[in-house]
Structure 1
Amino acid sequence: MDATADQASGLLKSLANRHRLLIVCQLLDAERSVGELAEMLGIRDSTVSQHLAVLRRDGLVAARRDGQTIWNSIASAPAREILETLYRFYCAPEERGEPAAADGAAGGRETC
């Protein structure tokens, strides 16, 4: 039980950063490159790369190389399920009875 508590604690620590949470919200829809994430979130490529390294280290994000592009995606079913629950409660206004924003974040999920 201690091992699973440590695992859950690590996952929650990773998500406790605003930029990392926004990154994984965008990865729920599709795998994305550093450049795409940086453009969608309005932050520098280097900042996205640093946060992705933490997310990969903690097992939330997986990377796949295709030529010179590295595609990032959600790494596990448990992580995806937790993230989708967070998204549903905090990032999906239409599911809370609020109108959705007319201009979503560059074709991805509306950010939190």
Structure 2
Amino acid sequence: MTEIDIDTLRQSAAEACGLLKVLANPDRLLLLCQLAQGEYCVSDLANATGITQPTLSQQLTVLRHAGLVATRREGKQVYYSIVSEQAMEVMQVLYRLYCQQEPDVKAVPATEATDL
């Protein structure tokens, strides 16, 4: 078994915490879930998610400043896409755990799962 470099581990843990802090918001998760499907302009994101314009702009700014998404301007339209490979991988795991449900499989609510 190889020994773990604690300084490297500490730095990686700090980076992971930063990503998780940005993801710890329902609106940002919803936006990233939508953006995981491809590039979207702001108006399409608003229509797809139901997030109001002020909140949408605020959350997209947070995602952009965190380096998770990038913008591309085409005329008057601003398009957003995910550029963080780590964020994309986390979104894929979250999608698999929370959004995909196989037919005939009933998910156990979290309150019931603790009683198992």
Does residue 81 of structure 2 align to residue 73 of structure 1?
yes
2:30 equivalent to 1:22? yes
In structure 1, runs of 5+ residues without a counterpart are 99-112
RCO higher in 1 or 2 (8 Å CA, sep ≥ 6)? 1
Q: 1:95 to 1:23 in 2, by over 3 A?
A: farther
Distance 1:46 1:90, change over 3 A: same
Change (3 A) 1:4 1:95: farther
1:89 aligns with 2:107: no
Deviations 1:24-71 (A, max 9, x none): 000011111111111111121221110010011111111111111111
User: Among the aligned pairs, what percent are the same residue?
Assistant: 47
TM-score by length of 2: 0.76
Aligned equivalent of 1:4, options 5, 12, 29: 12
Distance 1:95 1:85, change over 3 A: farther
Counterpart code for 1:8? A
> 3-state DSSP class of the match of 1:30?
coil
Once superposed, what is the RMSD of the aligned Cα atoms? 1.8
Equivalent-residue separation in structure 2 for 1:84 and 1:50 (angstroms): 24
Q: Work out the CA distance in 1 between the residues paired with 2:31 and 2:46.
A: 9
Q: Spell out structure 1 runs of 4+ moving beyond 3 A.
A: 94-98
How far 1:97 sits from its partner (Å)?
3.9
How far does residue 95 in structure 1 lie from its aligned partner after superposition? Answer: 7.8
